[in-house]
């Protein structure tokens, strides 16, 4: 019995394969490997794939995009805050003049 009571292996895995047959033998019927998924059949894009595969993929993609947008917004706020500080303290003007800019 798997840990937690969940059998997360795709149905394409051949169990009870002799160790002498090598590592690949048990997985030769699998086109892909997805924990808690059924896996697709060889030679197809998605035949036999459970809908939970696509749902989880969509959730993962959405979380990735939200995290990326959140990170960009956070960094933008930090940069704007730093620019305001530099302008307020006169550091930006001093640096600009040191680099040969006009006052």
For the chain, give every domain's residue range. 1-49, 51-103
**Residues near 91 by Cβ (< 8 Å), separated by ≥ 6?**
85
Higher pLDDT, 96 or 1: 96
pLDDT digits (tens, 9 = 90+) for 51-89: 777 788 899 999 999 999 999 999 999 999 998 888 888
**Residues near 87 by Cβ (< 8 Å), separated by ≥ 6?**
93
Mean pLDDT computed over 8-12: 69
Global pTM reads 0.51
SS (H, E, C) 21-37: HCCHHHHCCCCCCCCCC
């Amino acid at each position: 019995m798997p840990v937690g009571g969940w059998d997360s292996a795709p149905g394409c895995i051949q169990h009870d394969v002799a160790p002498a047959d090598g590592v690949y033998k048990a997985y030769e019927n699998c086109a892909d490997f997805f924990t808690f998924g059924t896996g697709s059949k060889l030679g197809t894009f998605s035949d036999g794939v459970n809908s939970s595969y696509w749902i989880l993929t969509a959730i993962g993609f959405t979380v990735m995009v939200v995290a990326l947008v959140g990170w960009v917004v956070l960094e933008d706020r930090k940069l704007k805050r730093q620019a305001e500080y530099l302008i307020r303290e006169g550091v930006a003007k001093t640096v600009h003049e040191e680099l040969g800019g006009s006052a």
